[in-house]
Amino acid sequence: MSGRGGRLAATVRVEVVELPDGRAAVSVDSVPDMPELARRALSLALRQVEERIGPWDPDAAEG
């Protein structure tokens, strides 16, 4: 990507798991050649998601 305003594309696998204390955790597997800027943006976005989703509710996830 050159200059500002370009687009980045990357493939990621996102998994949300329940922790023993009832909170949710998000893990991400990304492609090895993902640009550093994209990694940082994805990391920030996932932290914001974790802050907003609150406690994991398995009953709500099922239905």
For the chain, domain boundaries:
12-54
HEC letters along 1-63:
CCCCCCCCCCCEEEEEEECCCCEEEEEEEECCCCCHHHHHHHHHHHHHHHHHHCECCHHHHHC
pLDDT surpasses 60 at 52: yes
- pLDDT > 70 in the chain, percent: 62
Q: Where residue 36 falls among pLDDT bands split at 50, 70, 90? A: confident
Instruction: Give me the pLDDT at residue 17, please.
Output: 80
pLDDT surpasses 60 at 55: no
Q: What residues pair up with 18 in beta bridges, in sequence order?
A: 24
Instruction: Give me the pLDDT at residue 63, please.
Output: 46
Phi, psi (deg, nearest 5) at residue 17? -125, 155
